[in-house]
Homo-oligomer: A and B are copies of this chain.
């Protein structure tokens, strides 16, 4: 890869793959396909959404066409509702009409929704074809690494899915320039989360570089995404199918998912909801006897990034508790939480009394 491009390998044995992070990478998509031996005879399906298509799809198509690949682009509506079986049905139809065979590739160009949807199409079309991720949001640095793909059911999010690793992830920093500030902040919430679970030094670096990150300075952003992806890839390498360790990636997600559900999807961005959730987990840590400093620091850093650290008044405690108890993370009815033991390390507790959780949720209401 060219100067300025960072490269990282997700180590999964025969399913290992690289993540490329840098500027101007989309223009090199076709070149990378050739270098990596993707067969020219097998058509490619490019899946993107209505908010991304006009910005970058033509560039990807052109890069692939120049290298001799036939590509068909399909645009799905922007937003979570596209993660449906109906859309799977439509995309499989498009793949068949475009003549995709077992050696074909499906590319996701967009954020987490497009990645999850196109990834599940790639996992299930002909029982699995090649998959490539070209994320266009900061948040997708998380979802594009690790192979978790899924669509939603009316009764539950991400309930129909697979583990299907991409062939590579192409992270073109230029695509992030168009992100609204609120999405930048929310995306950085997951980046910081990767520091909080694994790497104290990286948390300190984020803290010191908040201004540059929020201004999307390419050097700072490239480094932060590299470090964030690195934590994710180390964890995924050690536990591909989420048997144990991978659960630590859910720091802040138990409360966060409940807040998203109760607030109504879209009211709180995912990164905002988990920022509040991470403050909650840090307060749980204090109940388990870990330093109160963890919660104070967690809150201070998220405030610095302009992220919410309090539960909106519209979300009732009862509704939040009820949403949590229905969350699939409570295997066999037990309450399980990822709890920080210091800045940069966590443990999984399966002995969390729901009364503690309720107190902490109450204490996190706006005004407290």
Which residues on A are within 8 Å of B, measured CB to CB?
A: 39, 41-42, 85-86, 88-89, 92-93, 96-97, 101-103, 123-128, 148, 150, 153-156, 159-163, 241-242, 328, 331-332
Contact = CB atoms under 8 A, between A and B. Distances in A.
B163 A332 contact: no
A163 B124 CA distance: 9
26 contacts: A42-B332, A85-B89, A88-B160, A89-B153, A92-B153, A92-B159, A92-B160, A93-B153, A93-B155, A96-B155, A96-B156, A96-B159, A97-B155, A101-B332, A102-B328, A124-B160, A124-B161, A125-B159, A125-B160, A126-B161, A126-B328, A127-B150, A127-B161, A127-B241, A128-B163, A128-B241
Q: Is the interface of A mostly helix, strand, loop or mixed?
A: mixed
Given A101-B331, A101-B332, A153-B96, A162 B89 contact: no
Contacts of A42: 332
A89 B88 CA distance: 12
A23 to B, nearest CB: 34
A92 B161 CA distance: 11
Copies of this chain assembled into the complex? 2
B162 A102 contact: no
A95 to B, nearest CB: 8
Contacts of A85: 85-86, 88-89
A103 to B, nearest CB: 7
